[in-house]
Amino acid sequence: MNVVVEPMRWWDVDAVHDLECDLFPSDAWSAEQFWQELAQPTRRYLVAREGAAIVGYAGVFVMAPDADVQTVGVRPDRQGHGIAGALLSTLIEAAEAGGVTHTMLEVRADNQAAHALYERLGFERISARQRYYPDGGDAIVMRRARSSAERLVGHDD
Ligand SMILES: CC(C)(COP(=O)(O)OP(=O)(O)OC[C@H]1O[C@@H](n2cnc3c(N)ncnc32)[C@H](O)[C@@H]1OP(=O)(O)O)[C@@H](O)C(=O)NCCC(=O)NCCS
């Protein structure tokens, strides 16, 4: 089935929140936090839809010339098919077209799938934050420069 990437709407929040709770059981955002994100003009959120089901979501904070990846998640049974890549590359392309020159993010040091994804999208490690997460996990800070030669494309399903 085709995956369609489109803006997240208020009526998507419950399904996105359910997915968030599956993906981040210890520190999931509440539905109210997603509502607040959607209400902010500096935020851009997308969902990936397969038929009626939401299989992924991602958001960025954009204040040109800077942007920050807020979150990204893909339903476990649909991971590894380029869905997160498609979501993030769409958000970053739009942000860079609007004047963003650098996009930042923090990622858990032990999240190998996310590291692979971000490196493919042209992010480079710039620093580490010890015990950044509430459970004591370390974070890696990564940055993508607009001039990055990396291709902003996902893989084919
Ligand atoms: C990280 C995440 C969003 C990636 O979503 P996805 O749709 O599978 O991403 P893509 O298919 O676009 O790319 C994933 C990359 O990770 C690789 N990968 C997938 N699972 C992996 C694993 N367990 N270990 C190492 N690499 C893995 C894929 O091969 C791919 O790399 P490649 O492009 O070099 O082949 C997804 O794993 C997820 O939702 N994880 C839980 C939530 C999370 O950790 N979010 C990020 C918070 S910073």
pLDDT digits 0-9 by tens, 60-85: 999 999 999 999 999 999 999 999 99
Ligand 1 within 6 A of CB of 69: no
Order of strands, sheet of 66-74, starting from the edge strand that comes earlier in the sequence: 3-7, 43-50, 53-63, 66-74, 102-108, 139-145, 124-129
pTM for this model (two decimals): 0.91
Q: Rounded to whole angstroms, how far apart are CA atoms 106 and 69? A: 8
Which domains does the chain carry? 3-145 (3.40.630.30)
122-to-3, 6, 89, 131, 150 alpha-carbon distances in Å: 23, 23, 10, 25, 5
Atom of ligand 1 nearest to the CA of 154: 12
Q: Rounded to whole angstroms, how far apart are CA atoms 8 and 16? A: 9
The residues assigned a catalytic role are 106, 118
Please give the helix or strand (H or E) that residue 32 lies within, else none: helix 31-39
Tokens coding 145? 């420069």
Ligand 1 within 6 A of CB of 120: yes
Atom of ligand 1 nearest to the CA of 71: 47
Ligand 1 within 6 A of CB of 117: yes
Does 151 score more than 70 pLDDT?
no
Strand partners, 3: 50
For 128-145, the pLDDT digits (tens) are 999 998 889 999 999 999
